[in-house]
Structure 1
Amino acid sequence: MLHLVRQAQAHPKNTAIISDGQSYTYNQLLEQSDHFAQRLLNGQADLAEARVAFMVMPGFDYVRVQWGIWRAGGMAVPLCLTYPPASLDYVLSDTGADIVVASARYTTIIKPLVEARQLRFIELEQLDEYDAIILPDLMPERKAMILYTSGTTSLPKGVVTTHANLDAQITSLVTAWEWQPTDHILCVLPLHHVHGIINVIGCALWAGACCEFLPEFSAADVFAAFQRGTINLFMAVPTIYFKLITYWERLHTPDQEALTAVMRPFRLMVSGSAALPVTVMEKWERVSGQILLERYGMTEIGMAISNPYRGKRVPGHIGQPLAGVGIRLVDDYDQPVADSQPGEIQVQGPTVFLDYWQRPQATADAFTDDGWFRTGDVAVVDDGSYKILGRSSIDIIKSGGYKLSALEIEEVLRTHPAIDDCGVIALPDEEWGETVAAVLVALHPIDLAELNQWIRTQLPPYKVPRQYRVVAELPRNAMGKVTKNDLKQLF
């Protein structure tokens, strides 16, 4: 039996999920995920790690589908709800998805792709007949999920995690952040990303706590949920905190004071997925009375480093390694650096992913000879706390909690008939952490407004460049590589 299921059985009458104005107990979640697992199996004994892609709104349906996939022995492949068809099709193709599940509102988007690939399709709202069977008994080593992340290659890679990986990622945080069955968290994060899946839903449901869903972010709706007085945890990316601060600052003083009074008793507020600007941390403390806990992780490792739940949280620092997670800082030759010297963060332990889906060379390249995962992030230990200094690859952009590949965006831009060449870079931004900018070499005069409309049909909104510059040629070094630091000077 999955550990997550066993944990849920210990809290049968607790409220597990609140979504769309309805409350669902752990008993209901267990029952409904069992039913969906049997629907998936349809008489089979075990899905045997078949890939099940799903495009479902955040809430009870999302969780019962995800748990149902796991309980049937499948690999869950959550799809981004804002992906254009080309990006969705890439994930279906790359995973070799066997089954696709969707809410009715997404059927018109996903069903043509499913039909073109002749895959099995399940629309949640339509009832199917299926044979009731006993669900398979799963070992922790079974593959559980594929999440997509952009690395230094041009196309996103599928990160494969096992049930044992998920258990380790969740329990490390449940212990570190002292989760309790009495906790109540609001989820506003996208659910094709480790932050929302593991840190919020996974931890809450492991602890027997309540997870309330806000399907689409709105500062007004977040604060309205806070004012009901039951929520005591909140986790978000710096961009969301920036938006909440902006909204709060526009309110009249009595309304500001009322919101601050509601947030001050919260047990914990966490920021992650991108560097937290110190200015945002300081403003949020004035707004909420809360000192944000900043932590460090990524799709391949879950969370690895965290500021303390009890103890001093240092602005601009990510804290100390979580229990059971091995961390070392190394030089370019994978040798540990001296104390107080910067080095690449490398991670080892049960939280680290299994492999990149069907990419043995990329997997081998991601690990050292002695089995440490290379994060590509550079840090230094400062007064006992880790501080991120930057990334070893200039082609990774962290924007609004997403890790983007500049090379992937460049490849898309180059398919436009008016573009001869391009370079994509990150620009610092207080709200988003970084924003995407593109320098173009055009074959003939180009309408940037039209270009922007076109690229929105090719890429998810968070990957679309915010600024453009057009030049006669791109600056390059002696080896012919574009010198991207020179591109930044154009902005």
Structure 2
Amino acid sequence: MTENFWKDKYPVGVAAEIDPDQFANVQAVLKLSCERFADKPAFSNLGKTITYGELYELSGAFAAYLQKHTDLKPGDRIAVQMPNLLQYPVVVFGAMRAGLIVVNTNPLYTAREMEHQFNDSGAKALVCLANMAYLAEQVLPKTGIKHVIVTEVGDLLPSLKRLLVNSVVKYVKKMVPAYNLPQAVKFTDAIAKGRGQRIDEANPQSGDVAVLQYTGGTTGVAKGAMLTHRNLVANMLQCKALMGANLNEGCEILITPLPLYHIYAFTFHCMAMMLIGGHNILITNPRDLPGTVKELSQWKFTGFVGLNTLFVALCNNEDFRKLDFSALKATFSGGMALQLATAERWQEVTGCAICEGFGMTETSPVVSVNPFQNIQIGTIGIPVPSTQCKVIDDEGNDLPLGSIGELCVKGPQVMKGYWQRQEATDEILDAEGWLKTGDIAVIQDDGYLRIVDRKKDMILVSGFNVYPNELEDVLATLPGVLQCAAIGVPDEKSGEAIKVFVVVKPGASLTKEQVLQHMHDNVTGYKRPKFVEFRDVLPTTNVGKILRRELRDEELKKLGKK
């Protein structure tokens, strides 16, 4: 598509371009927003709210601790591993203000996954929740991490409540396995030591890396997408332009059930909402539906960011359906395909239509979204401002409108590349800045995009990418496994579920329970298979490559979907 093709596709009042150089870096946006909205609430969790002014003060204290009490230098990597808690934005923005590169880490990672990410990123520091500190204890001796800061769930609550919450989590719910990390510093001590100390505010260049966001890409090896300050600033401005068209500054209350360590929630809640002074209600454990609904009942929320799985679960909850949705004016969906039935049900229950969008870790992440003014269910909307899209054939030739091909994206939100993986970068990103998404799509005459299929074998479980290569590599380490394959099969609840096929070595014996236990011990929850099937042989090409597509086709036939 020519650049001009998109210019007249935007709703009235939405500019076709943003200025990605409007702010020098993320810190500049943070400073401006925390001054403009100093008295406005920024984040709430577990009954406690911090304002933008308090966010700036606390992140400054954390930055000062890092600068005065550690030997960390600008450009060093710091892994942040925690769920949605008030500590998360404090740590992330504090680390950035100290000039560090944030490595977002899933708190559900196994020791094996943590070890790979920490070593690959070269992380020198880790901030983690006490609940997973026992895993850090196992992993740290095998990494270059020198500084460890441990936080407990209630650390930013008022003193009495903090003591109560932390005691309940540790002693009543027994959610903190014993650990021994003598070098660890308590988060509360770090904040206390940093308070009142002068910080040397980092002022990175716009092209400097702000975040290493890990993704499996097209192989099973997790790679760090280098997201620069310019990438993040561009995407927050793009989100504000198209997703924030009917949101008012300093007035919006946004429910935040998706994990902030995931790029979708990270950019939208921590970045884009900062621009408009939004109030983010952090849901620590959205799987606890009764607890989530109870939290929602306390707010006249105006925005909700979720994904298909969560929308389905909530709409099936009787107490959720009784909530007051009179203030809700914006619902955004991403991370996985939004089903038509889900969109219709959500609108019926809440009175609010869902704007579905599309993005990738490598694009910071938002590429396109349905504008409020004209939602087309079944599409992923139009590209956000300053973004070009095209579809290509297998030979890399541009295809005309209405053709089916691989979606490619170009814009200021496209990553710098993969961390220390030039070959992998060259496979996905060309010299002109076009990024191959690996998704098969159609560009309609009206500029709306529709995803048709995925080119790669990636499995999408509740919005999380799962890569068969990784699962097969882990499964192959189980004694007795001769051959194995992993595929995604349709699942009503999670979009897709994982099924593994196993060929057992001659003379060996394996049970389904042994396979599931092995995967449980080595991969995080959403990567674990739901189904196991033993076979004598697996379909392969003439050079022995296992044909996953054939296995998927067989499963779809069984379900009458092919």
Equivalent of 2:200 in 134, 138, 141? 134
Identity among equivalent pairs (%): 25
- Kindly provide the amino acid, as one letter, of the partner of residue 147 in structure 1: Q
The CA deviation at 1:273 is: 0.5
Residue of structure 2 in register with 1:408 after alignment: 470
Equivalent of 1:319 in 381, 393, 398? 381
Residue of structure 2 in register with 1:106 after alignment: 132
The answer as to whether partners of 2:66 and 2:72 remain within 8 angstroms in 1 is no
Residue of structure 2 in register with 1:367 after alignment: 429
Residue of structure 2 in register with 1:269 after alignment: 331
- Kindly provide the amino acid, as one letter, of the partner of residue 453 in structure 2: G
Helix, strand or coil at the partner of 1:263:
coil
The CA deviation at 1:264 is: 4.6
1:214 corresponds to 2:280: no
Aligned length, in residue pairs: 481
How many Å separate the matches in 1 of 2:351 and 2:279? 23
Residue of structure 2 in register with 1:436 after alignment: 498
1:40 corresponds to 2:66: yes
The CA deviation at 1:277 is: 1.3
1:468 corresponds to 2:532: yes
The answer as to whether partners of 1:307 and 1:319 remain within 8 angstroms in 2 is yes
The CA deviation at 1:230 is: 2.2
Alignment of 1:342-421 (within 5 A): 342-382=404-444, 384=446, 385-393=448-456, 395-421=457-483
1:153 corresponds to 2:219: yes
The answer as to whether partners of 1:8 and 1:206 remain within 8 angstroms in 2 is no
How many Å separate the matches in 1 of 2:416 and 2:39? 35
The answer as to whether partners of 2:258 and 2:306 remain within 8 angstroms in 1 is yes
Residue of structure 2 in register with 1:87 after alignment: 113
The answer to which of 419-428 and 381-390 deviates more is 381-390
**Cα offsets for 1:146-200 (capped at 9, x unmatched):** 1111122121111110111111111111111224320111111122211110122
RMSD across aligned C-alpha pairs, in angstroms? 1.9
Helix, strand or coil at the partner of 2:522:
coil
Residue of structure 2 in register with 1:223 after alignment: 293
Alpha carbons of 1:22 and 1:366: their partners in 2 closer, same or farther (altered >3 Å)? same
The CA deviation at 1:116 is: 4.2
Alpha carbons of 1:409 and 1:63: their partners in 2 closer, same or farther (altered >3 Å)? same
Alignment of 1:11-30 (within 5 A): 11-30=37-56
Equivalent of 1:446 in 485, 504, 510? 510
How many Å separate the matches in 1 of 2:525 and 2:410? 34
The CA deviation at 1:460 is: 0.5
Equivalent of 2:354 in 269, 292, 309? 292
Residue of structure 1 in register with 2:308 after alignment: 238
Equivalent of 2:546 in 478, 482, 489? 482
The CA deviation at 1:226 is: 3.0
Residue of structure 2 in register with 1:198 after alignment: 267
Residue of structure 2 in register with 1:177 after alignment: 243
The answer to which of 403-412 and 45-54 deviates more is 45-54
How many Å separate the matches in 1 of 2:314 and 2:258? 14
The answer to which of 95-104 and 300-309 deviates more is 95-104
- Kindly provide the amino acid, as one letter, of the partner of residue 97 in structure 1: A
The answer to which of 219-228 and 269-278 deviates more is 219-228
**Cα offsets for 1:188-213 (capped at 9, x unmatched):** 11222111101223222221111111
Alpha carbons of 1:368 and 1:25: their partners in 2 closer, same or farther (altered >3 Å)? same
The CA deviation at 1:246 is: 2.2
The CA deviation at 1:247 is: 1.9
How many Å separate the matches in 2 of 1:417 and 1:44? 44
TM-score for both structures, normalised by structure 1? 0.93
The answer as to whether partners of 1:423 and 1:440 remain within 8 angstroms in 2 is yes
**Cα offsets for 1:86-140 (capped at 9, x unmatched):** 1111111110111111233332221332244352222343514466443232322
Alignment of 1:247-266 (within 5 A): 247-248=317-318, 256=321, 258-259=322-323, 262-266=324-328
The CA deviation at 1:54 is: 1.6
How many Å separate the matches in 2 of 1:229 and 1:32? 25
Alignment of 1:301-316 (within 5 A): 301=363, 302-311=365-374, 313-316=375-378
TM-score for both structures, normalised by structure 2? 0.82
Equivalent of 1:328 in 375, 379, 390? 390
Residue of structure 2 in register with 1:122 after alignment: 149
